[in-house]
A and B are shown apart, each in its own frame.
Chain A
Amino acid sequence: QSALTQPASVSGSPGQSITISCTGTSSDVGGYNYVSWYQQHPGKAPKLMIYDVSNRPSGVSNRFSGSKSGNTASLTISGLQAEDEADYYCSSYTSSSTSGGVFGGGTKLTVL
C-alpha cells in the first residue's frame, strides 16, 4: 500500500481537462510545499512534470499545472492530447523518516 493515495485511473477526451488527485497527511503533502509529479510512458523512465507543488521544469508544457489544498495535491492537464496517455505518479517530502520521499501508487491516464 502506497503512502500517498491516487486514483487508479482517469480518462478524458482530446481537448478536455482532467485532474489527478494525490492525498497524503500533514507529515507529507499537507505539511510541506514539496510535491512533485512524474509522467511515465510504458517502458520509459519517469519524467519530472511538476515540482514544489506548482513549478514546471524547463521544457514542460504549460498545459500541465499543479496545486495543493490541505493534504491533497492535484495535477491538472488541460487540452488533453494523445501523447499525454501515460502513468502519473505524485511524490512528496516526508518528515516521517529520513527518506527520499513518499510516492503515490500511480494513475493511468487514458485519452479516449
Chain B
Amino acid sequence: DVKVTQSSRYLVKRTGEKVFLECVQDMDHENMFWYRQDPGLGLRLIYFSYDVKMKEKGDIPEGYSVSREKKERFSLILESASTNQTSMYLCASSRQLGNSPLHFGNGTRLTVT
C-alpha cells in the first residue's frame, strides 16, 4: 500500500512565524500535491510537483512556497503565517497525472493565532 506521511497531525503557530509542513511518500511516485481544505470550500490545490525540483502553482499559491529536493519529500512553507492560513492541509501523491488516483496523508490541522 502507498503510504503518505505528514510530519504533524496538529500544529499551532503564531502570526508571522515561518512554518514548514513536511510530507513523505514511499511509493516512488512522480507527482506530489499540497491541498488546503476548508469547510464549504472543498479541497483547493496550493502547489504541485511533477518531478524533483519542479513545482507548479495551483489555484491558491499566494502566501505559500514549496520545496522538492528529493523525490519522496515535498515540503510546504508558509513564509509568514497569517490567521487566514488556519486550515487543514493535505498532502497527496500519484503515479502519474490524469487518471491516476491520488493517495493522501492524514492531514495537518494548522492553527495560526
A binds B: no
- Residues of A participating in the B interface, judged by any CB pair closer than 8 Å: none
